[in-house]
Structure 1
């Protein structure tokens, strides 16, 4: 089964995709609607090392229904989605969101 996962942060990075998924994955540009970006401090040493930063973006709901966050949609299989879940820290939870393209996708947002 193919899962759509929207990334607005570190899962877009080639080094992170190589470690988490074993290499680059099929992706395409899109945007999440009704959300804005904040920041979260990451304490997991593996995630900090892979991403190169201890501050990561955090998707937050917005009262402005026209707000958008640009990013990419990753096309993942079951094992890759499980690997993405394992990579993300407890500050994030995976939820479904509407995309500008009219589709819905999983995304990691504020837990």
Structure 2
């Protein structure tokens, strides 16, 4: 099964139920070499689900000392498609190595 690392709203049980039809079980992990910024969200569908006007977004720093805490979830390919539909165009999904050594998909800034 694919793994999905979340540092933001995809950790919220309400967002998970809205996008995946269930709550996901996950474990703590971290994304090295990245830092968190905040992004204003204007998509009405995403705003309705998350209830938040600003979401975190990560950008690569190139500094191994930087890391972003989050949760890694086991998901299905269909879950990844659903997550792609939830994330706005400012994000894109890439495969990364997490601090634990596992490889997981994560949404990062599409412009940085």
TM range (shorter): over 0.9
What does 1:33-52 align with in structure 2 at a 5 Å threshold?
A: 33-52=32-51
Q: CA RMSD in A?
A: 0.8
Does residue 24 of the first structure (1) align with residue 55 of the second (2)? no
Match of 2:69 in 1: 70
Moved over 4 A (4+): none
- TM-score (normalised: structure 2): 0.94
Secondary structure in structure 1 of the residue aligned to 2:94: strand
Q: Under a length normalisation based on structure 1, what TM-score does the superposition of the two structures give?
A: 0.95
Shift, 1:52, TM fit: 1.1
Partner of 1:107: 106
Q: How far apart are the structure 2 equivalents of 1:7 and 1:90?
A: 17
| Matched residues, number | 110
Unaligned 5+ segments in structure 2 are none
Gap regions ≥5 residues in structure 1:
none
